[in-house]
Structure formats: C-alpha cells, structure tokens
A and B are shown apart, each in its own frame.
Chain A
Amino acid sequence: MAGAPVVILGTGQGGFQAAASLREEGFAGRIVLVGEEPDLPYQRPPLSKAYLAGALDEAMVRLRPKSFYAEHAIGFLPGERANGIDRAGRRLRLASGGTLEYDHLVLALGARPRRLPIPGVELDGVMYLRTLADATALRHRLPLAREVVLVGAGFIGLEFAAVAAKLGAAVRIVEATGCVMGRVVSPPVSRCFAETHARWGNRLLFDTGIVRVLGADGRATGVETVHGEVLPADLVVICIGVVPNVELAAAAGLATDDGIVVDDHLLTADPAISAIGDCARYPSRFADGTTRLESVQNAVDQARCVAARLAGRPVPYAAVPWFWSDQGELRLQIAGLTAGHDRAVLRGDPGEGRFSVFCFRAGRLIGVESVNRPADHMAGRRILAEASELTPEQAADPGYDLKAHAAVLKGGRPGKAHSRPQTLS
C-alpha cells in the first residue's frame, strides 16, 4: 500500500528502537507504533534490578519522553493490539475495531512469561515478572514480604532474588535442574552465582519443582514441592522463562518454530513483514543454524537492521549477541553464545569473584562469560565480531594482552594471526 505507514507491532525495546532508528536513518514515510500496554515504551532490564529495589522511579525507566514521539513524527497507539493480519490487503484487524493499513509490518511482539499450570497460582501473592505493571506490583509487595519462594533460577529470577535478599526477605529458590542459569552459562559461572546467593542466605533447592501453591483466605501461604516438602511463603514469584508471541504470525500463515521464522535480513516469507527481538527465530553464525534470543542487544540491533533496510540500506543481520545480569556485587557479561562449547578456559580467579570463561568449540572461540571483568567482555565482543582467531592457550595465559589483541582488530586488521605484532605474544 503505497502511502501506508510502516506499522510496528509491539512497544518493547525492539519496537521502540525500530521507530527511532527509522527516523535516524532518514526514513521520511509515516510510522505507527502499536502496543498493548497503556503507556510509553520503557526499559525492561531495570524492572528486575534498580526499579524493583525502589532506586529508580517510573519516569526514569521510560525510553523517551512523550514529546519525543511527536517531535519525530512517530504515531503511537497504546492500549491496542492486532487480532489478525490480512496479508493480501496489507492491513491489520485491530482489537478495538477498525483496520490499519501498512506498507511494511514489523512484528516486535516479544514474549510472555511461561505460566505454571498448577493449583493455587490464582492466589493473591503469586506473581510473574515481565511488564512494568508486574514490576510495580512486585515492588510494592516485596518490602512487606518475609518469606519468598522463587520458582526458576534463570537470569530474571536470580536478579529478583538478589533484590529480595537485600530487602531482608528469606528467599528459597526452587529450580528444576541441578544448577542456576544452566541454559545459558558454563559450570564455573553457574557455581559462582549459586555460591553467592547461598552466602546472601538464599536457599537453593535443585532438581525439584512445585506441585501446588497453598493458601488461606485467598492468599498464598506456601508451596508444596514435588518431593512433598512444604515451604512457607507470603510471596511466590514464578520465573520459568518466556514463550514467544507467535500466534498472530502463525494465524496469518507465516512459518513459526519457537519464534517467527525470518531470514538473515529478518524478513519473513512475506516481503512486507519483518520480525525482530524475542519473537523472531533467525539464522546466526553464532548458533548452530537458527536461534531466538531474549535480550536488549538482540532486540535493538535487529530493530536497527530492519530500519536500515526500510530506509534503503539492506545489510544481513550479523551482530554479536551479548547479555548482562546484575546480581548484588556480581556483574555478569556474556559475549557470543556459549552453549555447546567443548572446551572452557578460565581467566582470573573465581575465588575472588573476578573471572572469565572463554568457551571454544572445535578450537574456535564461540563466547566469553565474564564476572566482574568488563575488559575481557569488551575484548571478547570485538574478537567475536571479527571472527578472529584467539587460541585457548592465549585465553588461558594471564600475561597475554587481550586488549591489544582486540585493538589490533579495531585498527582494521581483523582476524589474521600473522598480522599481529610480535609484541603481543
């Protein structure tokens, strides 16, 4: 539909960035940003950290002030959702009635918390953590909570547990597997975080789950584990991962596979529809085949990639994935994707809480996990971006100058081992 706007569905980090980047790229057409939530787009990372702890007020988590949208001619439709996509007619059916035509549609639909289908989850005091509304409700309750049960020891859950412990709650963490953050980090990092939570007084229960939430007078009073143990709780927080929002795309006949399937330009099989962020499955050289990532970096870099394409400068999406988590004094930064590594090399001392794990597969660096070692992280990001050769021996050598290794790449001589100055080794 010539003259119709670029419509962006979803006002998370990716949706917002797509709109902002279109203008930065000089896109002159109309832009409409449509989101289910009632207010302006906001940052998600602080919701489980500083905002939850009460250290940031609501205005500070907004990505931009209201005036930004008018100044950049970005139409903003809050409290709205699409019920269907008419691909032939290039228009959306809106939940409020009516339709919205698009010239291009960007699906930035995000993900929703995986629900735990057990008795008692409807009780007052059982909460999830995804949206600003979730975080606001939780931040009001948390200071009053004495006994907290967290279900799921992933990034978000552990960030919540770090804040809860600091506010003085007794925290029990129920985890289905045998370690924390096991889906995304190597054993040394996982152990470090488990030990630190234990030192804060958080009790970790591994290889178990909960079968019901117990309650009285409509309020949660505890949980029962699969092993029959009853844990008292006046607050139960469930953080067992997310499910990508693919239903709208699937109903429109687009391919989905734990994510909306897109190509290396983040385009679906329909040339008028792109998908980005938590909801998109895309081919990545950092993964075996395709991947779907849940991170700010992934959402905003994909948004920039799509914006550049719509502004006439198409480039394949190739950004290095990176992630972070703040838990108490531990700052975890991850560059690349470390799952599936066959060799892990330690740099620094886990005993001192400052170390990195360099992960290799078949001799190639695939990712770097850093705890309180930001310089390793930034060097890792650069080395991965340039697909440079860093050997496990170099990574393990505390005297090897990683910064210089990465700086050589920055200077425009990427990836050629023989081009490195002798002084580096």
Chain B
Amino acid sequence: MPKITYVHPDGEMHVLEVPVGTSVMQAAIANGIDGIVAECGGSMMCATCHVYVDASQLDLLPPTSSIENDMLDATASERRANSRLSCQLVVTAELDGLVVNLPENQI
C-alpha cells in the first residue's frame, strides 16, 4: 500500500499505509491524526483539511480544480504555492512516499 507521511508543525511525523482510492484527508481522519479537521467531510465546503505538499511532489498530484482553488483562498493558515485540500488528494500507487505538512491552524 502507498505510504503517506503527515508532518505536524512541531516536526512530529506519522506514516500511514493508505489504500489506493482513499483520500489523504480520509486516511488522516480514519487514523485519528490531529491537525486535519475536515468539517464538511470532503465536500470542498470548509477548507479545514488544508495541507502543504512537499514542493518536489506537487507535479504528482491531480490539478487543483477551480472550486478547490477558490476554497484555498479561505484557509485559516496562510495559503502557499504548495497548498492543497487533502480531501482532493486521492491516493494512487504513484503517490507512494507523498509527504504532507500540516498547517498551524485549520479553523
């Protein structure tokens, strides 16, 4: 199974084995990783599953949709060039080794 690494702002890391087809957000919630709130459950309504993707891996990801782009403007922690909503990052074999950094705040 692809491994996804979640890095907290204090540097603490969690590595999860995530089934293909599961989103980075869903895996975090299902494994009780703090730092991803996902208030709307993955509907791109709340922008509380914000992550910073390792810059070298951005090209592996599906493009940002216009809805996600709009929602990213409203994240609680600052938006950066590598900001994504983790509910939109569905894990594939190619994403094995993905590293996502969790922001200071989600709400």
Contacts and interface: CB of A to CB of B under 8 A. Distances in A.
B30 A296 contact: no
B62 interface: no
B70 interface: yes
Nearest to A382: B74
Contacts of A372: 67
A43 B29 CA distance: 12
B71 A378 contact: yes
A403 interface: yes
B31 A65 contact: yes
Q: Is the interface of B mostly helix, strand, loop or mixed?
A: loop
A71 interface: yes
Contact of A378 (B29, B31, B39, B73): B73
B30 to A, nearest CB: 6
Q: How many residues of A sit at the interface, in one of the four size bands?
A: 20 to 34
Interface residues of B, number: 20
B32 A71 contact: yes
Interface in A260-308: 296-297, 300, 304
B33 to A, nearest CB: 10
A375 B32 contact: no
Contact of B32 (A65, A374, A381): A65
B39 A296 contact: yes
B93 interface: no
A71 B33 CA distance: 11
B30 A65 contact: yes
Interface string B14-58: 000000001000100111101000011101110100000000000
Contacts of B73: 375, 378, 403
B32 A68 contact: yes
A96 interface: no
A326 interface: yes
B26 A374 contact: no
A93 interface: no
A378 B32 contact: no
B43 A375 contact: no
A150 B34 CA distance: 39
Contacts of B29: 63-64
A16 B21 CA distance: 27
A276 to B, nearest CB: 15
Nearest to A331: B67
B74 A45 contact: no
Interface string B67-87: 100110110000000000000
B30 A333 contact: no
23 contacts: A24-B34, A45-B40, A45-B43, A49-B43, A60-B22, A60-B30, A64-B29, A65-B32, A68-B32, A297-B39, A300-B39, A324-B40, A324-B45, A331-B67, A374-B44, A374-B70, A374-B71, A378-B70, A378-B71, A378-B74, A381-B74, A382-B74, A403-B73
Interface of B: 22, 26, 29-32, 34, 39-41, 43-45, 47, 67, 70-71, 73-74, 107
Given A64-B32, A331-B67, 10 more contacts: A45-B41, A46-B41, A49-B43, A60-B22, A60-B26, A63-B29, A324-B40, A331-B44, A333-B45, A381-B74
Pick the 4 closest A-B CB pairs, nearest first.
A378-B74, A68-B32, A374-B70, A375-B70
